[in-house]
Structure 1
Amino acid sequence: MPKPVAAAHDPSLAATVVRRTPLLYAAGPDPALDRPAHVRAGSGLAWFGGRLAVVQDDAAFVALTDPRGERVEAVTLPAGEGGARQFDDLRGNKRFKLDLEACTVVPGDEGELLVAFGSGSTPLREQVVLLADGPRGPRVSVHDASAVYALLRECTEFAGSELNVEGALFVDGRIRLFNRGNGAPRGDLLPVDATCELEWVALRAHLLDTAVAPPRPRGVVRYDLGAMDGFKLTFTDAAWFDGRIVFSAAAEDSPDVTRDGVVAGSALGVFDAP
């Protein structure tokens, strides 16, 4: 395996917060659907049909917000255990969440398709959500992808000691996944930050019919993103920007991929080439 690609600090780059917008659902809260009044998390973001789609790791809703964030529509996903659609430590039901951590948009003859990925950190989190925007509104389907995640986990060059998918991009007919290396060591395996690619046509065929063989991960690249205050920086998302790939990373003292830890800080970075 080649040496990891090492990130370098570029003092000429800077990030500035230019606006903050509360993301409140236009329809308000709905106790019957277990929907809160607001978007709870922004685990993955992608432009979808002229709106910004927001997937959440702790709520079974996809938020669709207009470019200025002035109107937010909630797309309801299937409920979890006991009809819950919100998951946290206070409720004691985090183990039942889909844990959607990454999303990307795929173009097609019938329009765009939002593809959202579970983290794969537990068996319940090995599902992929497909969202199509039709004339009667968004159409949602949730697909078992356990065979796909099994191949990702088996590819230890990508997954390392623990699989934790945190980013996804559509690149020339392939889905590029980003693994976050914040897991616990397992034997001789260490947590790694890495990317791999899955052929989209094969992945879609498998999601629609699990009798079709899933695609194997290809083109693995590992990364060393550096550290902040003594904690390793690890991938948390990625997006296209001006023809290049921008990624976000967090320095979190997490004991493994399912438990949270103290966050020392975060960083943004740019890949020089796709």
Structure 2
Amino acid sequence: MENFTLTNLFTIKGISAASGLLFSQNVLFIISDSSSFLYQYDIEKNLLLKFPLVKEPAENIPKQDKLDLESIIQHGNQIIILGSGSTKNRTTMFTLDLSTDALQTQDLNPLYQKLKNVSELNDDQFNIEGAIYANETMILFQRGNSAESQNGIFIVPNNQKNNIRFIPITLPTLDGIETTFTDAILVNDKIYFLACAENTASTYEDGEILGSILGVMHAPTFEIIDIKLLSEHQKFEGITLYKNTEEEIEFLLCEDNDTELSESIIYNLNLKKN
């Protein structure tokens, strides 16, 4: 992963605080941690649609009330969106069937309590920022950005009677601050993950952004096999696969710029394979 380029691809007006991306069926699905809409952006037509996830959807929701949607994944014809679990009102999972637009919700608080027990994380430390679904197993990425917290990966089989596992992960530091997971995606046998260094001791309050990295893990073992510094001042929060050829792999990234501007910049990250 010696050669890469990171470019500003386009800006979407009408979305602030983008926190997750999913490119599927030539549409870019976007979630925001301060909104209760699922956004659908047609890149070719430059068209933005909003799908309400609750009865009274809103944007720019106050921090204490927001659902804090941080993870978006696809399983078959369904889009799954997860709240971070960092407070009691951030534990909702939304499941949208793309063929019928049927929407279901589930409270993940019982599951999140199990995860806290397994990992010995308390309420102030727990914070899910990314998810992968593979082999009838959910892989959840814990962002350890609170005091004495821990980056790690939860392994959650469909049949939860099987053991739920927590694997602590140590990530590189930027300016003496350990980076923390912000999203991840599985491509073949590799996990590509984003992590950010933020000078804060809280999962709730933002801090000074010290930069973002892209890491690569060997999926079967979660061994980190490569790291690239993407920025020394930006906080990248979402990653999705865009194109994959023999010569290169491209991702789309979104950024949380901690402003109230109602626009989101989408970046293209191009990695040369040779």
TM-score, normalisation: structure 2: 0.72
How far apart, CA to CA, are the structure 1 residues paired with 2:58 and 2:29? Answer: 18
Percent identity, aligned pairs only, is 27
Aligned residue for 2:58, secondary structure, equals coil
Structure 1 residue 142 and structure 2 residue 100: aligned?
no
- Over 3 Å counting, the alpha-carbon distance change for 1:249 and 1:15 in structure 2 is farther
CA distances 1:40-94 after superposition (whole Å, capped 9, x unpaired): 1331222344422211111111112235572222111215xxx561235xxxx21
1:221 to 167, 171, 187: 167
CA distance in 1, matches of 2:121, 2:216: 20
The number of aligned residues is 220
* Pair 1:40-2:5 in alignment: no
- Of 95, 109, 120, the residue aligned with 1:130 is 95
**Tell me, what secondary structure is at the counterpart of 2:114?**
helix
Question: Could you tell me how far apart the structure 1 residues matched to 2:110 and 2:201 are?
Answer: 26
3-state SS of paired residue (1:155)? helix
Which position in structure 1 is the counterpart of 2:211? 265
**How many Å separate the matches in 2 of 1:39 and 1:51?**
16
CA 101–251 in structure 1, closer or farther in 2 if over 3 Å, else same: same
Residue 225 of structure 1: CA displacement?
A: 0.9
8 Å contact kept, 1:120–1:163: yes
In the alignment, the residues of structure 2 paired with residue 56 and residue 215 of structure 1 have an alpha-carbon distance, to the nearest angstrom, of 33
Q: Residue 139 of structure 1: CA displacement? A: 2.7
The alpha-carbon deviation at position 256 of structure 1 amounts to 0.8
Taking the TM superposition and a 5 Å limit, the aligned residue runs for 1:65-80 are 65-66=41-42, 68=44, 70-78=46-54
Partner of 1:95: 64
Q: 1:75 to 1:84 in 2, by over 3 A?
A: closer
Q: How does 1:192-207 map to 2 (within 5 A)?
A: 192-200=150-158, 202=159
CA contact (8 A) 2:19 2:31 kept: yes
Change (3 A) 1:159 1:63: farther
- Residue 130 of structure 2 is aligned to residue 172 of structure 1: no
Kindly tell me: are residues 98 and 153 of structure 1, through their superposed partners in 2, closer, same or farther at Cα, counting changes over 3 Å?
A: same
* TM-score (ref. length: structure 1): 0.72
Q: Is the 8 A contact 1:148 1:215 kept in 2?
A: no
From 9, 13, 18, the counterpart of 2:2: 13
RMSD (Å), alpha carbons: 2.4
SS at match of 2:6: coil
Separation of aligned partners in 2, 1:57 and 1:215: 31
Residues 1:23 and 2:12 aligned together: yes
Is 2:218 aligned against 1:254? no
Aligned position for 2:83 = 118
More helix by share: 1
CA displacement at 1:272 relative to structure 2? 2.5
- For the residues of structure 2 that align with 1:98 and 1:220, how far apart are their CA atoms? 24
Following superposition, the deviation at residue 159 of structure 1 comes to 7.1
Q: Is the 8 A contact 1:104 1:168 kept in 2?
A: yes
Q: Secondary structure in 2 aligned to 1:149?
A: helix
Superposed CA deviations along residues 109-156 of structure 1, whole A, max 9, x for unmatched, are xxx111111110100001111111125xx3322221211111111122
Separation (CA, whole Å) in 2 of partners of 1:223 and 1:160: 19
Instruction: State the AA in 2 paired with 1:114.
Output: I
Q: C-alpha displacement at 1:254, in angstroms?
A: 1.7
Structure-2 residue corresponding to 1:85: 58
Aligned residues of 2:33 and 2:68 also touching (Cα < 8 A):
yes
The one-character-per-residue Cα deviations of 1:137-190 (angstroms, maximum 9, x if unpaired) are x33222212111111111225779611000000111111000000012xxxxx2
* 2:183 pairs with one of 231, 237, 258: 237
Counting strand residues as a fraction of each chain, which structure ranks higher? 2
